[in-house]
Structures are given as C-alpha cells and as structure tokens.
Amino acid sequence: MTVVFQTARSSTVALRLLGLCLLLLALLAYPAFAAERLSDFIGGIQAGDLVPGADRIGPPQGEPPLAPAYRGDTIIGHIYLNSDFTNSVGYSGKPIHILVGIDPKGIVTGLKLVDHKEPIVLIGIPEARVVAAVNDLIGKDLGAVARNAERPPQVDIVSGATVTVLVMADSVVRSGVRLIRSGRLGGQPVATTQDTETRRVDRQEGTIRGWDELVGDGSIRRLSLSVGEVSDAFARAGNAEAAGNAETAYPDDSFIDMYVAPVSVPAIGRSLLGEEGFRRLQERLKPGQEAIVVAGDGAYSFKGSGYVRGGIFDRIELLQDGNSTRFRDRNHTRLGALEAEGSPDLREIALFVIPEDFSLDLTSPWQIQLLAQRNVGARDKAFLTFEVEYSLPDMYLIREAAAAPAPAPAAAQQQAQTGGAEIMPANDVLDEALWKRIWRGDAVSIGITVTALLVLTAIFFFQDALVRRPRLYTWIRRGFLTFTLLWLGWYANAQLSVVNVLTFTNSLITNFNWEFFLAAPLIFILWSAVAAALLFWGRGPFCGWLCPFGALQELLNNIAQALKVPQVKVPWALHERLWPIKYIIFLTLFGLSFYSLALAEAFAEVEPFKTSIILKFSRDWPYVIYALTLLSAGLFIERFFCRYLCPLGAALAIPGRIRMFEWLKRWPECGSPCQRCAKECPVQSIHPEGHINVNECIYCMHCQELYHDDHRCPHMIQVRLKRERRDALASPAMASGGKGHKAAFLPHHAQYKAAKQREEAAGSPPTSTEGA
C-alpha cells in the first residue's frame, strides 16, 4: 500500500509540474504580432469587386487608411478594412478582416471577407452561408444610420454561427458610420440628430376593417414568390442543381403566398381573429408580450415538418435589431380561417405568441425570414432566405414629444470645439457595445442558465442528504442531464469545447479582449462557473453535469442498460493505459495552437461536439459517422469518449488538481478488502486500492450512494447489524424473557451471514468478511 500512495503522490506532483510547464510555455511563446493593414489585402482584388464601375484603386491614405476607388480620374468610392476602424474580434479571439466598399453618400457597395480564424466557419458551417448573411448589408445607406435617422441594418442570423455573423455585421456598420461621421468620404462631418418624440402602440380597440383595406394600408404584409422566381434565385446563387429541382413543373405556379400581421394590436387583431378570438388571445398574452399571424398558400409550406419531429418551426424566423427567435409548438395555435371580410382561403394559418425570451418592439421595424429549401442529390439540401419587412403603420402609433435633455458641460465644450458634428446622442444605438446588446437580448436564456447553475450548486452542497435517497437522486440526476442535453445543448448551443481553451490561451499571449468572450453570454457564464467549480470539486461538475455531449452519452447508455444491452468492463490494466490518450490529444492540440491556431482548431474535430450538439448531425457524412461511432461505443462502455478521448476533459483535469476541498467520503475498508465502489463506478475512476482518481471522476456520486447504504456497503452493514443487535438486547421481549428471547440472542455472525446471503441473492458483488 505504501508503494501505491507513493505512486499517487508522484502522479500528483507530475501533473502539477506539467501544468506549470504549460503556463511557462504560454508565457515564453509570446510572439510579436504586427497589425494587418489595408495594404496587405487590396493587392489581390479588382476595384470593381467592391466599388462597381471602378477601374483602379489608389494608394491608402490617412490613418486609419482609406483607399480611393477611381473610374478614370474620378473618385467614385472608397475601400477600407473594417478592423482598422473598429473592433472585429470573432469567436476565435482574432479579428475578422473584411474589405468594405462605400460610395461618397455612405452606401455600402461591396464586401469581401479576406481573412478570419473562425473555427465554426473553418469546419462546420459553410463560409458561403456566413458571407451571404453579411452581404445583406450591400446597398444599405449607412449615412442615414450615422445621422440617427434610421436604425442599424440587420442581417440574417446563421444558426450555430450567431456570434460570428453579429460581429461581422456590427463591425461593418460601426466602421462605416465612424468613417461617415469623420467627413473623410468627401463631404462634411455628419451631425447626428436627437429623437424628438417617443412612440407607443395604440391599444384602443379601433375600427374593424376588411382584408383588402388591411393589405392596402400595410397592416398586413405580403411575400409572393413563384416557382420560377425561386429557381432563378438558386441559379444566381450558383446552385444549378437546386434551380432545376423545382416544386412543380410550371414556373408560374405559386411557390408561396405568405401574409404577416401583428394581431396583438387591437385594431388588427379584432379584424383578423374576430372579437372572441382576440379576447382569448388577450387572456393568453402576458404583460408586454406580442403575437403575430402568419398565413400562407402555394406549393411550399412555411411550417414544414420540423415542428412535428422536434417541436420547432425551422422555416421561419423572427428578427429585430440583430436578435432572432424561432417559434416552437408551444407558441403556436392553428387557425382554420381568418375573420376579416374578404379574406382568401389560405392553406396554412398560424397564430404565434412571441416567446417570452424575445422582446418584440412593434414601434420599430422587424422581419419574418422564410427559409426556402430544395433537395440536392440523395441527402443534401440547398437553402435560400427571403424576408417580409414589417413596420407598423402610423395609424396604430401614438406619438409623444420627448423632452430634450440639456447637454452636459463636457459635451457642450466638445460640441463647441467640433462644431457639433461629432456629438452623438445618448440614445445612439451604436454607442452601446455589441456584447451588451447580445446580453440584453438573451436575458431569459441567461436567467435560465444561472438558475440551473444555482440548482446544481445546491445539489453539490447538499449531496449527503440527496444520496441517502437513491431513487430521488437518480431521477434528479437524469432530469438535470436531460435539461443539459435538450436546452443547454441542442437549444442554446452552449457546448464548451477545447477550442475555447486554445483561443483563451492564444488571446492571453496576443491581444486579450474581454469583449470577445462576453459576446457569447452562455459560454462566458458556463466557463466562469466551471472555473469556480475547479476549486471545489475539480472537473466533475462540468464533465458529469454540464456537458451536453456527456449527457447524451450517459442517457443513451441508461437506455441501453434498460434494454439489457451487455456492458463491457474494461480490464483495469488496460483502462489505466487508455485514459492518458486524452492528455496526449490535448497536449498535441495545445502545442499545435502556438504554431497555428487555425490548424489546431481543425484537429480539434476529434471532439464530436460540433457535429452532434451545435449542428445537430446536419453535416457531411464522415463527421456524422464519427460522432455516431463514438455514441455507439458508449452504449457498451459508459462514457467511452469521456474516459479515453476527450481533450477538454484533460484540459480541465490539469488545473482541477488544485481543488481546495475533498467532498467524496471513503471508509477505511474501501479498497481493502471492499471493492464494491471500484467495480460499480460508471467510469472506473476508483483504483482497486480504494482511492478516487479525481482526474477521471465525473462526480456522478454513485460511490456516495453506496457509502451511506446500509444494505450494500459492508461497513454500513456492520453498523446496521450492531445497531439491530443493540436494539434487540434493549427490547421489552429481552427484558421479560418472553418468546422473543431466543430471537434477540441470534448470534452476530449469523445475522451478518444472513444479511450477506440476502445481498448476494439480490445480485450484489461478494465482499470479504475480514475486518468486519
């Protein structure tokens, strides 16, 4: 035993030295990075690609640099690099470089993504989808945004790459507005305007009107597409196969005729739903909550079939101010017909209550985005998006004069110095950092995540009380894992990854910026919680409770065991030689990240998290087969990937050695002679000698259930038998010498033998009676 504990201590020292070496390596590897400038990128492009009609690009001028685009000798536009004017740090922790073409009026004429290190785009989501989303900014008038006459334009949100798309679009808009306000486009600096009125929705009943009148005044907005128009759109997008795979044989057939209206506005709702329907809707809506009607006809269904399989309407999305939401079946009510006089007979009519985690402001523009899809080949699909823009007509708005605040002394002084051109009002949307807008838009999701973390903390702090009730604890654990998989993973995409570790380390040694990490609020909150948990419990809270892929493995294995799928017990000698593989994988990725972060992120695909959780298996077949293979192995060997291959688990195990408390309790008999916990540990993290390897422990607390169980733990069985004998000796039957006398003096060894026989008959592993 002495040798065993010496080995354990040596292992601890070695791991601490390894962690120190990694930290020193990170500090010594600090490279000198020069800021990439406009001149590094414009050499390989044609002027007309960014400024239509331009035939050459002049040399960059000024600071930040701005390159004029010429047609002959006339300047018809300018080209600049977004990262020279504003922060454009993406999910990788590195700037996303976009060349932007802009004309003298402030209209965006072209965009070109020239360099990025985004892992979700490098492998997973096609770059073309991200670029197409940002290209929606082409043709937008940023001059109006610079004057605060319009809100910043919005772009399509690409599921799984939300942060990347928002950062790209925000950097283009912010850089363009800053350039316009500086007056460097050839005009005077643009002065911003202060809102002089506030607007709110008129909640009076209003007049009931017919269908034609509602459509005519903009109360109902329409999107009408023919099959041929959609085919042409696929052709322009470069997908000839999708263009040729039309829904019908006739191009003039209706692809979709879709109508959208906000029915929580009383005058519109009473007209479309009728008095009784609108009354029921009002009873259903919570304060501040809105509702819309989406109706459609034609060859294409805006509902699709996703809401039947998974409860989500994946073909339509609501967008406003850079935030978006999709509707689920719980938000949906099917309507048979609309009540407005003259309403057409539409095939699909849906009433959607806006989810509580999305605050729709009807006084500002919003959009419904339709995802059009067509089959390409046997399995693949091609996608295009179309939008219905909606602005509530003035007749439904109440306008009130806003009080003009007096400028602060500092602002007044600056205004005097600059002639008033550069002063931006307090309500300027662009004054607020992007990460703050994201956090405000995700307030409900943040609240749910924080609540879940508080619940998990309570489970850990009161674990002794819970594990004494094994049945209750089992259902609590399975319920939490289900929440982790379905909500935290598949819904919120809050799956931590070794890529986060690599980018954080790389950011520390280059240009650290909190804004990048704050741009993904749930990821930031989870990492903060994991960092705190490492001090108390090691890697267990994340690996055993908060990892969606780990939850998926364990729940599938629970189902497999319920179906009597045979479980493979890896021999200990082989097991302890397999678990170092994940440390080797992590160290390889960590070292590779100093050479090339992009290459390290590519090899980080050893994690199947992106395929199975973020992209929900909607990916190229090699990645799907790899993920399914690991999950299949987990049906026979519980948490196979966690045990032997997970680089994130290895990354957390190294600092996890610094934990300050030992919460898992052991008896002196554990390991010698009793082996029950070691044999029943789901991930074999308990050595045959009895001590728990915290590097491998996922804190499932099964060993703590056994620790307190006086019918399965030999130590507790002895305690129970002694208590029963003591109670028997003190019983009234013993005192009176009655019929219970003989039973009360049943020998101790006979009671223990009887208890042992009962346990063996119930399937418990045999235990030695030595030391009992």
Q: Which one of 324-333, 451-460, 649-658 scores highest in mean pLDDT?
A: 451-460
**Is the model's pLDDT at 409 over the cut of 80?**
no
Check residue 29 and give its pLDDT: 38
**Is the model's pLDDT at 767 over the cut of 50?**
no
Q: 165 or 770, which is more confident?
A: 165
* Low-confidence winner among 27-41, 73-87, 128-142, 606-620 (lowest mean pLDDT): 27-41
**Is the model's pLDDT at 403 over the cut of 60?**
no
- Residue 390: which of 649, 215, 128 has the closest Cα? 215
Check residue 160 and give its pLDDT: 57
Instruction: Place 501 in a pLDDT band, splitting at 50, 70 and 90.
Output: confident
Q: How far apart are CA 253 and CA 228, in angstroms?
A: 8
Tens-digit pLDDT profile for residues 242-252: 888 888 889 99
Instruction: Place 259 in a pLDDT band, splitting at 50, 70 and 90.
Output: very high
- Per cent of the chain over pLDDT 90 is 23
- Residue 293: which of 325, 318, 320 has the closest Cα? 318
- Residue 263: which of 358, 311, 333 has the closest Cα? 333
Instruction: Place 142 in a pLDDT band, splitting at 50, 70 and 90.
Output: confident
Q: Which residues are registered as beta bridge partners of 387?
A: 369
Tens-digit pLDDT profile for residues 411-464: 444 443 433 333 344 345 555 666 777 787 778 889 999 999 999 999 988 888
**Is the model's pLDDT at 574 over the cut of 70?**
yes
Which residues have CB under 8 Å from 73's CB, separation 6+?
Answer: none
Q: 664 or 745, which is more confident?
A: 664
The answer to pTM > 0.75 is no
Neighbours of 760 (CB within 10 A): 12
Q: Which one of 372-386, 642-656, 711-725 scores highest in mean pLDDT?
A: 642-656
- Per cent of the chain over pLDDT 70 is 77
Check residue 475 and give its pLDDT: 93
DSSP for 180-211, written as a single string: HHHTTTSSPPPPP----EEEEE--S------H
Q: How far apart are CA 82 and CA 597, in angstroms?
A: 22
Check residue 182 and give its pLDDT: 76
Q: 163 or 753, which is more confident?
A: 163
Q: How far apart are CA 703 and CA 680, in angstroms?
A: 8
| Ramachandran bin of 68, using left for φ above 0, alpha for ψ from -120 to 50, beta for the remaining angles | beta
Check residue 646 and give its pLDDT: 92
Check residue 268 and give its pLDDT: 93
CA distances from 449 to 464, 483, 537 (A): 24, 10, 20
Check residue 457 and give its pLDDT: 92
DSSP structural state of residue 406 = P
* Low-confidence winner among 422-431, 567-576, 649-658 (lowest mean pLDDT): 422-431
Instruction: Place 330 in a pLDDT band, splitting at 50, 70 and 90.
Output: confident
- Residue 404: which of 420, 419, 426 has the closest Cα? 426
Strand pairing category for 348-353 and 56-57: unpaired
For residue 304, the SS3 value is coil
Q: 769 or 97, which is more confident?
A: 97
Check residue 180 and give its pLDDT: 84
Q: 370 or 309, which is more confident?
A: 370
Check residue 190 and give its pLDDT: 54
Q: What is the 3-state secondary structure (H, E, C) of 584-650?
A: HHHHHHHHHHHHCHHHHHHHHHHCCHHHHHHCCCCCCHHHHHHHHHHHHHHHHCCCHHHHHCCHHHH
DSSP for 705-767, written as a single string: HHHH-TTT-HHHHHHHHHHHHHHHHTSHHHHHT-THHHHHT--HHHHHHHHHHHHHHTTPPP-
Instruction: Place 546 in a pLDDT band, splitting at 50, 70 and 90.
Output: very high
Vertex 134: Cα angle to 130 and 136 (nearest 5): 130
**Is the model's pLDDT at 28 over the cut of 60?**
no
DSSP structural state of residue 61 = B
Phi, psi for 105 (deg, rounded to 5):
-85, -5
Instruction: Place 141 in a pLDDT band, splitting at 50, 70 and 90.
Output: confident
**Is the model's pLDDT at 97 over the cut of 60?**
yes
Q: In this structure, are residues 549 and 489 in contact, taking their beta carbons and an 8 Å threshold?
A: yes
DSSP structural state of residue 311 = S
* Low-confidence winner among 365-374, 632-641, 728-737 (lowest mean pLDDT): 728-737
Q: How far apart are CA 172 and CA 140, in angstroms?
A: 11
Q: How far apart are CA 256 and CA 259, in angstroms?
A: 10
**Is the model's pLDDT at 742 over the cut of 50?**
no
Check residue 764 and give its pLDDT: 44
Collect contacts of 381-384 with beta carbons under 8 A, ≥24 apart.
Answer: 382/234, 382/237, 382/239, 382/241, 382/242, 383/129, 384/230, 384/233, 384/234, 384/237
Check residue 227 and give its pLDDT: 92
Instruction: Place 170 in a pLDDT band, splitting at 50, 70 and 90.
Output: confident
Q: What is the mean pLDDT of the chain?
A: 78
Tens-digit pLDDT profile for residues 211-243: 999 998 889 999 999 999 999 988 887 888 888
Tens-digit pLDDT profile for residues 689-737: 877 888 888 888 888 887 777 777 877 778 888 887 887 787 665 545 5
Check residue 562 and give its pLDDT: 92
Q: Which one of 126-135, 374-383, 466-475, 756-765 scores highest in mean pLDDT?
A: 466-475
Instruction: Place 350 in a pLDDT band, splitting at 50, 70 and 90.
Output: very high
Tens-digit pLDDT profile for residues 288-313: 899 999 999 999 999 876 555 556 78
Q: 743 or 98, which is more confident?
A: 98
Which residues have CB under 8 Å from 35's CB, separation 6+?
Answer: none
DSSP for 236-247, written as a single string: HTT-HHHHHS-S
Q: 163 or 714, which is more confident?
A: 714
Q: In this structure, are residues 772 and 714 in contact, taking their beta carbons and an 8 Å threshold?
A: yes
Check residue 307 and give its pLDDT: 57
Check residue 105 and give its pLDDT: 85
CA distances from 124 to 38, 490, 550 (A): 29, 16, 20
